């Protein structure tokens, strides 16, 4: 099945929501006091792991687009990279 622009828009919305969930969880955990005695270290480790996961996902987009023969999939790479930076 070939991806069209409607599929890409839907995929981008899903990626935005998926990338926003860890940030929402982080805010919730800070408000609930779910971290250890050193919350700054916990927040740094959490954000670093999430940035690494998003970086790997953004680097995985090009091979997936190439091997899956879905050239429109590369339009999601920038979105993932910006969320990784955020």
In this structure, is the dihedral angle defined by the CA atoms of residues 14, 16, 22 and 26, taken in order, positive or negative?
Answer: negative
Predicted TM-score (pTM) of this structure: 0.83
Per-residue pLDDT at 20 exceeds 90:
yes
Mean pLDDT over the full length of the chain = 92
What's residue 72's pLDDT? Answer: 87
Residues 6 or more apart from 57 whose CB is under 8 A from it? Answer: 80
**pLDDT tens digits, 43-85:** 999 999 999 999 999 999 999 999 999 888 888 999 999 999 9
What's residue 14's pLDDT? Answer: 96
Question: What distance in Å separates the CA atoms of residue 74 and residue 33, rounded to the nearest whole number?
Answer: 39
4: helix, strand or coil: coil
Instruction: Look up residue 59 and give its two tokens.
Output: 């680097």
Name the pLDDT band for 1 (thresholds 50, 70, 90).
confident
């Amino acid at each position: 099945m070939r991806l069209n622009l409607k599929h890409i828009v839907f995929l981008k919305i899903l990626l935005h929501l998926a990338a926003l969930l860890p940030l929402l969880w982080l805010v919730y955990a800070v408000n609930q006091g779910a971290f250890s005695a050193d919350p700054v270290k916990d927040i740094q480790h959490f954000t670093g792991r999430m940035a690494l996961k998003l970086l790997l996902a953004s680097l995985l987009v090009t091979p997936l687009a190439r091997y899956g023969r879905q050239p429109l999939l590369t339009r999601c790479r920038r979105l993932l990279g910006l969320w990784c930076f955020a």
